[in-house]
A = this chain, B = another copy of it.
Amino acid sequence: MGPGPSTVPQRILNALGSPTLGHLDPRYIEIMDETCVMLRNVFQTKNAITFPVSATGMAGMECVITNLMEPGDEVIVCVNGVFGNRMVDVMERAGVTVHRIDVEWGKIFSDEMIAEAVERHPKCKALGIVHAETSTGAHQPLESVSKIVHDAGMLFIVDAVTSLSGHTLKVDEWKIDAIYSGTQKCLSCPPGLSPVSFSEAAVEVSERRKTKVQSWYFDISMLKDYYKGSGKRAYHHTAPVNMIYALHEALAIVLEEGLEQRIERHAVMHKRLRKGLEEMGISYIPEHSLHTLNCVSIPDGVDDAEVRNKLLNNYQLEIGSGLGPFAGKAWRIGLMGHNANQANVDLVLAALRDCLN
């Protein structure tokens, strides 16, 4: 119950361990195509370019940035935790001039801040923001931000690593142009893939590039011929076949439960956890908290490492430590995918009660 990887259900582990097919085998291609169809459902998008990048979550960020941005471009990046900072770093490595706007860790960005930033930096090609900041537990609303960004003629880039299938996230309705996530959070799949989706507008921008995408591995102009499946299926790289089996099974589980029901389950379990923690006098750090990642203040006088070790050794229960300014001051309790259930919530509450007494 840390910040991920979350616990992987046996059904997904069984799929993962199935015999490895060739990456161009017709049966494998079928599984991959089905995976992309299910991913579109879970992202709530019709975007043709929706596929899992063959590497972990951060590679999704790099795939989005290297395809959309060119050296000399300008961008606004919203930073309120580790992953906003990462986005700045990856943008700069792509030769992009970054105008960063910061709020205190744990806070979110208001529409006014976004409006001011796009007005101050009107030449930017895009604005990047983190939907679910795993380092602080802050939950950033996106719909109104998207409108401001598009009114200014910019692309809207979203980090959804810790929200996909755990929070409401409507790629088409909210007009998100490029989004990336990870498999090891609310999808309850092992780490190893990074689902991404690009809007038509984003694909057009990438097609109008003057320079080649600096990464061969992440270049969607070639990847699309493998994943999109229009016409001839062109070999690009060898896909991580078994990881695709696992993601296929994970997405099937999401859709069997129902995406809305799954998101509602995360909300219900978050409320239950929050109530129990607050009854113990433990308070949440972010005002707008994620359901999937609960970042709380460590009570005064409590030894961070001692409690986490006791949870691990006596209860086989992992919770996350604080990062950056929250190191030693916060715990991060994940309620992601399979893990967001009543038994887990009640166990972590009971275990914390035990450790704190």
Q: Hey, which bits of chain A sit against chain B, CB under 8 A?
A: 2, 4-5, 7-8, 13-14, 16-23, 25, 54-59, 61-62, 86, 89-90, 92-94, 182, 184, 190-192, 212-217, 237-243, 246, 318
Contact = CB atoms under 8 A, between A and B. Distances in A.
Given A16-B17, A93-B214, A216-B90, A54 B23 contact: no
A227 to B, nearest CB: 14
B17 A237 contact: no
A166 to B, nearest CB: 16
B93 A55 contact: no
**Highest count of chain B CB atoms <10 Å: which of A21, A56, A238:** A238
Contacts of A215: 62, 93, 214-215
Nearest to A60: B217
Q: Which secondary structure characterizes the binding site on chain A?
A: loop
B238 A191 contact: yes
Given A241-B5, A242-B16, A243-B240, A92 B217 contact: no
B191 A23 contact: yes
A58 B20 contact: no
A216 B56 contact: no
- Each complex incorporates copies of this chain amounting to 2
Contact of A13 (B18, B55, B94, B214): B18
Contact of A239 (B25, B191, B237): B191
A101 to B, nearest CB: 21
B19 A56 contact: no
Given A57-B237, A192-B240, A237-B56, A216 B13 contact: no
A240 B243 CA distance: 9
Given A217-B62, A239-B191, A13 B2 contact: no
Contacts of A92: 212
Contacts of A13: 17-20, 242
Contacts of A21: 5
A19 B316 CA distance: 14
A242 B250 CA distance: 15
A89 B18 contact: no
Contacts of A17: 13-14, 16-17
B243 A243 contact: yes
A8 B19 contact: yes
A214 B214 contact: yes
B20 A2 contact: no
Given A16-B16, A58-B217, A190-B241, 16 more contacts: A5-B20, A5-B21, A13-B18, A16-B242, A55-B59, A56-B237, A56-B238, A57-B237, A58-B238, A62-B216, A92-B212, A93-B212, A191-B238, A191-B240, A192-B241, A192-B242
Contact of A58 (B22, B89, B93, B237): B237
A23 B8 contact: no
A7 B242 CA distance: 12
Nearest to A24: B2
A241 B20 contact: no
Contacts of A54: 55-56, 59, 192
Contacts of A14: 17
B93 A216 contact: yes
Contacts of A18: 13
